[in-house]
Amino acid sequence: MSFKDATAYAASLAATLMVSIVVFRAGDGTCAACPAEDIEGDEVAILTEIDPWEVTRH
């Protein structure tokens, strides 16, 4: 999936599960998302992490 789609999916997943979600690029160039706790030193390029508990106020 594209980075844009993976980020949207990750935001929805983080809000639903209330856990940190990582968006990463796999070896074949595609992007994906999974819970941060599932990344255990795997060889992936982490692009961003979405933490539902981190509140930004403007």
What pLDDT, on a 0 to 100 scale, did the predictor assign at position 11? 95
pLDDT digits (tens, 9 = 90+) for 3-27: 999 999 999 999 999 999 999 998 8
Contacts 24+ apart (CB under 8 A), 16-22: 17/52, 18/52, 18/53, 19/52, 20/49, 20/50, 20/51, 20/52, 20/53, 21/49, 21/50, 22/46, 22/48, 22/49, 22/50
- Tell me the mean pLDDT in the region 24-36: 91
